[in-house]
C-alpha cells in the first residue's frame, strides 16, 4: 500500500485498522487513517449499512445484531472477529467511554491485536477541561464549546469531539498521535498552543424522525474551519445516531477571528433532511452574551 512520506516507520505495522465506533468520531478516525495510507475498516449492525461511517470506510463488515437505540455498542467478540477477517493489526475503539473499556481492551490484546485506547487498568477521568472552557445552552441542550490558549490537557488515549479544539491550537492530528502511540513510537510533547479555537454543535430538530436519508447537505469549506458530521447526501441517519448532526471547529489568531469564522461557516451550512436547528445556532452565535465573552 502506498503511503505518504510523512508517515513514520512505526505506523508501517498498521496497514489496516478497524474502527469499533460509528458517527462523528468514527468518520473522523476513518479520514485520519486514510490520510496516513492506512486501510480503514468499520463495523455495521443491522440497519446501519448506509450510515456515513459505512460509506466512508475502505471496508465495512457486518457484525449482526443491532445495538440498543442511542448506543453505539456492538458485540465485542464480533468486533474482534471482524478485525481478524479484515486483516487488521489494530482496533481503534472510538469515543472516550469505549476507549476506557478494560474488558474490550483486554479482549483485543488477547487476540494479538494492538489497542488504540487507554491502557487497561488505568484510572478513568484523566481527561480534564481547561477552566477557560465555557458552555452555552439553548432549550436544555449544550450548543457551544470554546477554549482559548493554553490548550486543555489531553491524555493521548481517549478521543472526544471537543478534542478538535486541541488540534485547532496545536496543529496536531490527535488520531495520528494515538496510532503512533499504539505503534509504540516515542512521542514528543504537544506543541505549544497558539491562536484560539472555538466549536459549535448543530443539533437535529426536535421533530426529526429516523431513519431518514440525508439530502441538501452543504458543508463549510474555508480556511481555519473543520467540520465533523454524520451527514452526506445519500447517507442515512438512523436510530443509533445521537442528536448532534455536526460539530464545526474554527481557529483564529484570537477569539474574535475564530468566532467570525465560525459564524460565517454556520451561515454557509445547509441541510434539507434531516431537519436541523440551524436557525437557532445562527441566532446563538450573534447573541451579545456569546460575542462579548472574554476568553
* pLDDT at residue 67, rounded to an integer: 54
Q: Please tell me what DSSP assigns to residue 269.
A: -
Under 8 Å between Cβ of 266 and 96: no
Note the pLDDT of residue 213.
97
pLDDT at 153: 57
The sign of the dihedral angle between the CA atoms of 262, 267, 271, 274 is positive
**Strands, E assignment, the chain:** 16-19, 39-44, 59-62, 90-92, 114-115, 134-138, 141-148, 196-203, 212-213, 225-229, 236-237, 244-252
Which cell numbers hold the place of 219?
458543508
DSSP assignment letter at 139: T
Residue 253: predicted pLDDT: 94
Domains of the chain: 9-115 (3.40.50.20), 134-149+195-291 (3.30.470.20)
Distance, CA of 49 to CA of 72 (rounded, Å): 14
Between the alpha carbon of residue 290 and those of residues 147, 176, 191, 269, the distances in Å are 13, 33, 28, 20
User: Residue 5's pLDDT is what?
Assistant: 38
| C-alpha to C-alpha distance for 91 and 42, rounded to whole angstroms | 10
How far is residue 244's CA from residue 95's CA, in Å, rounded to a whole number? 14
With residue 261 as reference, give the H or E element that holds it.
helix 255-268
Q: What is residue 147's predicted lDDT score, i.e. its pLDDT?
A: 52
Joined grid coordinates for residue 135 = 458552555
Q: CA-CA distance, 126 to 153, in Å (whole number)? A: 9
Which has the closest alpha carbon to 244: 20, 97, 106, 72? Answer: 72
Give the orientation angle of helix 102-110 with respect to helix 76-86, to 10 degrees: 30
| Residues in a beta bridge with 138 | 141
What string of H, E and C letters represents the secondary structure of 105-123?
HHHHHHCCCEECCCCCCCC
- pTM for the model stands at 0.88
Only one residue has cell 431537519, namely 275
| pLDDT value of residue 10 | 58
Of the candidates 61, 120, 111, the residue with the CA atom closest to the CA atom of residue 90 = 111
- Give per-10-residue mean pLDDT for the chain (295 aa): 43 88 94 96 91 97 66 76 97 86 93 92 52 45 50 65 86 94 91 90 92 97 96 94 93 93 97 95 88 63
Grid cell 475503539 in the structure block, residue? 93
Amino acid at each position: 500500500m502506498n503511503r505518504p512520506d510523512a508517515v513514520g516507520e512505526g505506523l508501517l505495522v498498521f496497514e489496516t485498522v478497524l474502527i469499533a465506533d460509528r458517527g462523528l468520531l468514527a468518520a473522523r478516525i476513518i479520514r485520519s487513517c486514510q490520510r496516513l495510507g492506512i486501510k480503514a475498516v468499520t463495523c455495521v449492525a443491522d440497519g446501519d449499512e448506509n450510515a456515513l461511517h459505512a460509506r466512508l470506510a475502505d471496508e465495512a463488515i457486518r457484525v449482526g445484531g443491532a445495538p440498543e437505540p442511542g448506543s453505539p455498542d456492538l458485540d465485542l467478540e464480533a468486533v474482534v472477529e471482524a478485525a481478524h477477517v479484515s486483516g487488521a493489526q489494530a482496533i481503534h475503539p472510538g469515543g472516550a467511554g469505549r476507549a476506557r473499556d478494560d474488558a474490550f481492551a483486554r479482549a483485543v490484546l488477547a487476540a494479538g491485536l494492538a489497542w488504540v485506547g487507554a491502557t487497561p487498568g488505568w484510572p478513568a477521568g484523566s481527561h480534564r477541561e481547561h477552566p477557560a472552557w465555557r458552555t452555552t445552552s439553548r432549550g436544555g441542550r449544550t450548543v457551544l464549546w470554546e477554549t482559548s490558549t493554553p490548550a486543555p490537557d489531553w491524555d493521548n488515549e481517549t478521543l472526544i469531539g471537543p478534542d478538535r479544539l486541541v488540534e485547532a491550537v496545536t496543529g496536531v492530528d490527535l488520531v495520528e498521535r494515538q496510532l503512533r502511540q499504539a505503534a509504540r513510537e516515542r512521542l514528543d510533547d504537544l506543541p505549544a498552543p497558539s491562536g484560539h479555537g472555538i466549536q459549535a454543535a448543530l443539533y437535529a430538530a426536535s421533530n426529526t424522525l429516523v431513519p431518514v436519508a440525508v439530502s441538501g447537505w452543504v458543508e463549510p469549506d474555508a480556511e481555519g474551519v473543520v467540520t465533523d458530521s454524520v451527514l452526506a447526501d445519500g447517507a442515512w441517519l438512523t436510530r443509533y445516531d445521537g442528536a448532534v448532526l455536526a460539530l464545526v471547529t474554527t481557529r483564529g489568531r484570537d477569539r474574535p477571528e475564530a468566532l467570525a469564522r465560525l459564524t460565517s461557516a454556520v451561515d454557509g451550512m445547509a441541510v434539507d433532511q434531516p431537519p436541523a436547528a440551524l436557525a437557532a445556532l445562527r441566532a446563538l452565535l450573534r447573541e451579545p452574551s456569546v460575542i462579548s465573552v472574554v476568553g
